Every structure is written in C-alpha cells, then in structure tokens.
Amino acid sequence: MTAAHADAAISRRVRRLETLLEERGVIAGAALDEVIDAFMSEASPANGARVTARAWTDPAFRARLLDDGTAAVAELGFAAGGVQPQRLRVVENTADTHNVIVCTLCSCYPIRLLGPSPSWYKSEAYRSRVVREPRSVLAEFGLHLPPETRITVWDSTSETRYMVLPRRPQNTDGLSEEELAALVSRNALIGTAAI
C-alpha cells in the first residue's frame, strides 16, 4: 500500500468515526470542528523554539524540562499532548550524543510544540529507515555527524511524545530569548537538523 493509499484509508476511518459520533449525539460536527480549529491554531514550531530558548538561558528550567517535560512546558503555557494528555520527554543533544525522534507505528508527534508534522515524518520510508540506519537518514537531510557521535533514536507512542533539545550554537551568549528562539527550526526539534 502506498503512502497516499494509507493516508486515504486513515482519512476514511476518521471520517467514519466522526460520523458515528455525530449520529449518536456524542458530539456535534460544528463542535468537533471548533475543537480541531482551536487546537491547530495554537500548534507551531515557534512554541518548541520558545521552550528551547528558555532552556538555553535558564539552567533551572532546563533541568526541569529534562526531568519532566510535561510540567516544564506547562510553565510556559503549553500542553504536551493533543486532544488527550500525553507525557512529553525532552532529550538533549550534547557534544557526543545526537537524538532524533520518530514514530514507527504511525506519526505520533508533539503537534502543539512542533506544529503539524512534515510529510516526510509520516512516510513509511522515514519511519522504518531512521531506526535501522539513522546516520544515513540524517545525512540525507544534510546533517553529517562525526563518526564518534552516538545517535539515539526515540520512538514516540500514543502516551509519550518526544522533543529534542538542540545544542545551543556557539557565540550566542549576547542574544535574547526571542533572538535565540528565531534560530530554532522544527527539524532541529525533531533531530534531523542541527543549529
């Protein structure tokens, strides 16, 4: 089954579920649309960038973020999950370790912090290959890591979402949180890019 066929099958199932919920009076179609629209209007990689910039400038926040990502992002007014609550785990890139996230089963992803997931993240090719050959996949994104860098792949689930805390670029000590946040890309928060 191609990715387009898989997406179409999922879309049909989602629409069927929506129809059943509406027919049984569980939720009105307009109310469901309002919930989805409100959720998506607050979903942006700028949120994850803001979290990252705070972690780079506030060591106590960084420690809380790495210890309990869900609670730490809530301090900034963000939820880790979507319609249902999920746990957020933040993994930090260091000089000798690089992290990358994937969801091998579907495309679980912290939408509120990273915005809508890119099409490649949902693709079967990315989901299967990044686990088996992460260094090659990252090279295809233009990220060439030294051979001694350990790469850890984190597999998201319906209960736990992951976000990468990228390494802070050198020579950025004088930048404000806002300026630092502007340096952070969605791909860096997934781990397929460096800053």
pLDDT in tens, 115-165: 888 999 999 999 999 999 999 999 999 999 999 999 999 999 888 999 999
- The per-residue pLDDT for range 72-126, each reduced to its tens digit, is 999 999 876 555 568 999 999 999 999 999 999 887 888 889 988 899 999 999 9
158 is catalytic: no
pLDDT in tens, 8-21: 565 577 677 777 77
Catalytic residue among 11, 41, 44, 103: 103
Which entry of 41, 44, 108, 117 is annotated as an active-site residue? 108
For the question of residue 117 being annotated catalytic, the response is: no
Q: Verify whether residue 185 is a known catalytic residue.
A: no
Catalytic annotation, pick one of 106, 119, 136, 158: 106
Q: Are 22 and 29 in contact (CB under 8 A)?
A: yes
Among 11, 41, 44, 107, the active-site one is 107
